[in-house]
Amino acid sequence: MTFVPAKWPRKLRSQEWFGGDSRDHIYHRSWMKNQGLPADLFDGRPVIGICNTWSQLTPCNAHLRDLAERVKHGIYEAGGLPLEFPVFSTGESALRPTAMMYRNLAAMDVEEAIRANPLDGVVLLVGCDKTTPSLLMGAASVDLPAIAVSGGPMLNGWFRGERVGSGTALWQMSEDIKAGKMSRDDFLEAEAAMSRSAGGCNTMGTASTMASMAEAMGMALSGNAAIPAVDSRRRVMAHVSGRRIVDMVKDDLKPSDIMTKEAFENAIRTNGAIGGSTNAVIHLLAIAGRVGVDLTLADWDRCGRDVPTIVNLMPSGKYLMEEFFYAGGLPVVIKRLGEAGLLHKEALTVSGKSLWSEVEDAQNWNEDVILPVEKALTPQGGIAVLHGNLAPKGAVLKPSAASEHLLVHRGRAVVFEDIDDYKAKIDDEDLDIDETCIMVLKNCGPRGYPGMAEVGNMGLPPKILRKGITDMVRISDARMSGTAYGTVVLHTTPEAAAGGPLAVVQNGDMISLDVPGRSLVLEISDAELAARLASWVPAVEAPKGGYAQLFYEHVEGADTGADFDFLKGCRGSPVGKDSH
């Protein structure tokens, strides 16, 4: 346990609120004391915010109040004063139209809540997909010492002797129902088996990916990503993170010291090795924008291209997060990257030590879960960034989730103008489509949906599923759930609702996809494309009023992280005058 003198060696930010005898100082202290806090807790020690995304509407984070208590134990032990506060919680499974629409709102909430309050450092309690990037984005824009603690994944789902992976099994089973291979009763039984404990998705979906990104960037203690939510060691992680944030304040170790370009490159390579979610592309670009790191789609392709996917987890592989933890978790993977010369070993972490020093003693306890390189799921993991006249600013595809035989493919476009059009047509037995076609979905980008829904892995037509075919090339400006799979081109930018070329694709156009060559081409002449774009009429109506209007007017493209234009950058922690 760290001994902390009653008086901190230097005057901290919180003392602007608590450290004096003016009317304002008394006001700030006295009201706090209504919570039963002794006077000496305001003697100059660090005040640590616990930024909590707990919500019963975010079931993946519904256990975070317990973890907050563990964090408090650690903060008190180390001589700090913990103060827990709620922020907007972006629950993936329930929010409409999509949780992504609220990531920036949550980030704004986090930023303002941290800056406006008497805090010296903050513990970020995260879990479900968007909660991790939104808290990292907000904290980065304030740049006070911050440490992330993830809620952890659910235990393995089991149904009739088989693993049931969050999301991944859902996509499979819903197609089985469509194809007449599964009954509704079996489906109901399986959906209960899928979510059998507290925690987030147990696959390497977006939540586990983003927890891994936080750890790989150095923003969480080593080992944080994989500990199951209900394992006692998750509580220990919360407890020691509480201790650590106090020392981080002492050392003035800030997000901008940790989230450097090298840290992002480490995270990108880690994403390739774990077969992580395509959503990480957007979130890391947005976080980088907050700390002023020049990260681009080209960095994603460059850094991820030669990284083999060695984590055998759904949706790319076989196992689930619980088994990843037992095998040694993310430190083993990061160590492998270091041994392969793919890591910036000296990157700093919240521990105050280098990333390499945190992982160099890690051991792999199960080589079927964390595979040797020669048995990698795919030798080229990472995210492929595609360009061409259909995606002038880029589009992404996850090779490890795609079908090998479709990575180079030319096909006839079958166009859905928006998600409603898709839903209206997809089950029609007369739809003019076969498995060689390319399904094109428009108006599902940041502005189009709005919020950029995870609908890019649109289900196949039943008549094709009944043939036993499970994958086709699909192209959209949407995102895809991290738990999903398929040969799916996502994040096509500029999006259709912003007048990108995707908006003018017509039924019957030929499209060629070449993932190894990184190209996505609409096979019409430049003159024809220009003529179509010149006569394009927006199909999406701008929302009137409220947050939807703010979102529509200020959200940027997926190629730069879909942050709001006015939220980019670090604004620091100065808060101006007291109001009393």
Binding positions for ligand FES, rule: CB under 6 A: 60, 92-93, 128-129, 166, 200-201, 205, 207
The separation between CA 120 and the C-alpha centre of its own chain, rounded to angstroms, equals: 26
Other Cβ atoms closer than 10 A to 246? 26
In whole angstroms, the minimum distance from the beta carbon of 94 to ligand FES comes to 9
Nearer to ligand FES among residue 98 and residue 141 (C-beta): 98
Check the CA dihedral 562-566-571-577 and report its sign: negative
Nearer to ligand FES among residue 93 and residue 519 (C-beta): 93
Nearer to ligand FES among residue 79 and residue 482 (C-beta): 482
In whole angstroms, the minimum distance from the beta carbon of 131 to ligand FES comes to 8
Q: Which residue carries 């993991």 as its tokens?
A: 381
Nearer to ligand FES among residue 205 and residue 223 (C-beta): 205
Contact 203, 37 (CB under 8 A): no
Other Cβ atoms closer than 10 A to 423? 13
In whole angstroms, the minimum distance from the beta carbon of 42 to ligand FES comes to 37
In whole angstroms, the minimum distance from the beta carbon of 207 to ligand FES comes to 3
Nearer to ligand FES among residue 168 and residue 312 (C-beta): 168
The encoded tokens of residue 213 equal: 């990104």
In whole angstroms, the minimum distance from the beta carbon of 457 to ligand FES comes to 15
- In the chain, how many H helices and how many E strands? 20, 14
Other Cβ atoms closer than 10 A to 427? 12
In whole angstroms, the minimum distance from the beta carbon of 321 to ligand FES comes to 10
Nearer to ligand FES among residue 202 and residue 378 (C-beta): 202
Nearer to ligand FES among residue 60 and residue 473 (C-beta): 60
Q: What is d(CA 329, CA 315) in angstroms, rounded to the nearest whole number?
A: 17
Instruction: Report H helices in 328-412.
Output: 330-339, 355-359
Distance between the two ends of the chain, CA-based, in angstroms? Answer: 38
The greatest distance separating any two alpha carbons of the chain, rounded to the nearest whole angstrom, comes to 79
Q: What is d(CA 543, CA 521) in angstroms, rounded to the nearest whole number?
A: 32
In whole angstroms, the minimum distance from the beta carbon of 90 to ligand FES comes to 9
In whole angstroms, the minimum distance from the beta carbon of 61 to ligand FES comes to 8
Nearer to ligand FES among residue 201 and residue 555 (C-beta): 201
Q: How far is CA 480 from CA 191, 213, 241, 279, 474, in A?
A: 20, 18, 32, 7, 11
